Amino acid sequence: MFLAEKSTGHMIEVLDTKMLIDPNESTVRGSLHFGEEAQDPEFFDKAGLNFPSGESLPQCWIDPDYRRR
Is residue 68, in this structure, part of any structural domain at all?
no
Provide the whole-model pTM.
0.87
Is residue 67, in this structure, part of any structural domain at all?
no
Residue-level pLDDT at 36: 79
Distance, in Å, from the CA atom of 64 to the CA atom of 27, rounded to the nearest integer, reads 13
- What single-letter DSSP state applies at residue 69? -
For residue 50, the enclosing domain spans: 2-61
To which H or E segment does residue 19 belong?
Answer: helix 17-21
Is residue 36, in this structure, part of any structural domain at all?
yes
pLDDT digits (tens, 9 = 90+) for 11-56: 999 999 999 999 999 999 999 998 777 789 999 999 999 999 999 9
Q: Is pLDDT of 69 > 80?
A: no
Residue-level pLDDT at 66: 86
Q: How many domains in the chain?
A: 1
Is residue 48, in this structure, part of any structural domain at all?
yes
